Amino acid sequence: MDAKKLRGNIMLILTALIWGSAFVAQSIGMDYVGPFTFTAVRNIIGGSVLLPCIALINRGKNTAAQPARPRDRKLIAGGISCGIALFIASSLQQIGISMTSVGKAGFITALYIVIVPLLGLFLRKKISPAVWAGVVFATIGMYLLCITESFSIGTGDLLVFLCALFFSIHILIIDHYSPLVDCVKMSCIQFFVCGAISLVPMLVFERPQLSAILSAWAPLLYAGVLSNGVAYTFQVLAQKDTSPVVASLILSLESVFSALAGWVILDQSLTPRELAGCALVFCAIILAQLPDMLASVRQKSCVS
């Protein structure tokens, strides 16, 4: 492995670690502020962090005023669409985390890796047998992880599952726009859009005090600066030198890191039944990526 790939993989591991432990920050933040307040502030912070990154990227480029181009309109459309999807997903996740454990939330959220191929059916994309097997593993895992002995699902688990569904939609929107626009700029726009939309329910339902927001400064900064700003930038930089298959595989460790962080920091342990569910969900995540992994291996063997 060359130095660039090694550096990229280390960045991706750090990204997965930051995202996984951010579930803890989100959980702690709810002790001080409501879910919409947390979502609004963290995204505004995340967008602000990306502004200097964009300035550095644009350094040396011709930034003279130019008339709006189709690419600019697509950038705005992509940023707004991503921001709306991110608002729905983040809000559902933030509310759900207050009703379930950090470890369970991490694994349920990671189901977007399985849900995305299923949503591809509506776009007339074929699903491989490996993905269907992943769906079976994920279904059994979700049953063990979320369904109680009375055959009921916790409200928090259901909300986090819906969050995974909207994160899947968010990923498909990014997949559509990312080849057409500057991804860092689109991410910056989406953060500000998500933060702006969150301000409405924040002011209507929560009306937070400045003192409460200041009390939650640590989890808010962790989620906004590290999870939104730094981790996203790491991901973008790392994927320039690492294959998408390897990147998605490493990033799926987010679910494992969330469970470890919840156990170490919040002392939230999982029952043997829930651990078995986590293991099956993680197997489903790996299976969903298997077709791309095999295709990448075949491509390399053909080139060599």
Q: Digits of tens for pLDDT over the chain (304 positions)? A: 567 777 888 888 898 899 889 989 999 999 999 999 999 999 999 999 999 888 887 776 655 555 556 678 899 999 999 999 999 999 999 999 988 888 888 888 888 877 877 887 777 777 778 778 888 888 888 778 777 656 567 899 899 999 999 988 888 888 788 888 888 898 899 999 999 999 999 999 998 899 999 999 999 999 999 998 888 778 777 766 766 656 766 777 887 888 888 888 888 877 888 888 888 888 887 887 777 667 766 776 666 5
**Which amino acid is located at 100 in the chain?**
T
Neighbours of 62 (CB within 10 A): 6
- Helices 254-266 & 102-109, crossing angle to 10 degrees? 170
pTM metric for this prediction: 0.81
Measure the CA–CA gap between 18 and 233, rounded to whole angstroms: 12
Q: Are 247 and 294 in contact (CB under 8 A)?
A: no
Measure the CA–CA gap between 215 and 148, rounded to whole angstroms: 35
Please state the length of the chain.
304
Per the rule left: phi > 0, alpha: psi between -120 and 50, beta: everything else, 124 is left
Per-domain residue ranges of the chain? 3-57+69-118+152-268
Strand partners, 147: 153
